[in-house]
Amino acid sequence: MSAYYGKPLETDHPNATSAWLAGLAANGPLLTDGDDRISEAVGAAAQTEPFFGLMSSAKFRDIEGKGFHLAPCADLDPWAGWTYTKLALIATGSDSPNAAKLFVRYVLTEEGIGPQMADGKMPTRTSLSLPPEDEPSGLANFKDKLAGYDSATGLDDYDLRQDWQDFWRLNYKKNDQSTGRIRNGPDHDSPRPPRANCAGRSPRPNRAGRGALGRPGAARGLPKRDGG
């Protein structure tokens, strides 16, 4: 943390990850079962208190396709979003293993990944150029502010999923929209946290396939819609 903020992190949590996750959970974000619901909630027109949310950069195609109002929060520090790796696997005992290899090879070429790059997906091969500047999310304009996924910890991350899910449940506080307060269990509540003014989007969804929504100020540093 010192490398990004110039001073050590002061927290009662064992590391920056748990401190960030506990803070996010305490802000009472709304959880969804996918990015479509997030983009619909954030991008809907004529909202006086629009949501902001974590979602895939691919959802920015809905700006033109569905008339959504979306914009990236590219000035978040130290990261405006993050990337993660998708895998191509060939099943043992496949009837056509060589054809499968050729398909995987094709997907890794510029021609193969091109249709996906058009809506904000980054190529795996670093020799390929990033999505064009006119791509809806503008990913190429803030690529240096995307945190890269470290595959070296992948197996450990998988083994610790239940621990992190338990940690989330212990720290999550549901926002009571009727009172404007955040409730932790039946007998504990606290005032809603201060509002934040950041606007924008996250380039990728989380690895569990779920997203999070919040009202402006309900989760600091998360993206929201543009002013349209």
Read off the pLDDT of each residue in 158-176 and give the average, rounded to a whole number: 89
**Helix, strand or coil, per DSSP, at residue 26:** helix
At what angle are helices 161-171 and 16-26 packed, to 10 degrees? Answer: 40
Q: What tens digit of pLDDT does each residue of 58-109 get?
A: 899 889 889 999 988 888 888 888 888 788 889 999 999 999 999 999 999 9
- Is 206 a residue whose pLDDT tops 60? no
- Is 153 a residue whose pLDDT tops 90? no
User: What single string gives the DSSP state of each residue in 44-71?
Assistant: -SS-SS--EEE--GGGGGHHHHS-----
Number of helices and strands in the chain (H, E): 8, 8
Q: For residues 9 and 6, what is the distance between their CA atoms, to the nearest angstrom?
A: 9
Read off the pLDDT of each residue in 124-140 and give the average, rounded to a whole number: 82
pLDDT of residue 216: 40
pLDDT of residue 214: 52
Where are the chain's structural domains? Answer: 22-83+131-214
Higher-confidence residue of 31 and 96: namely: 96
Cβ–Cβ < 8 Å for 97, 20 = no
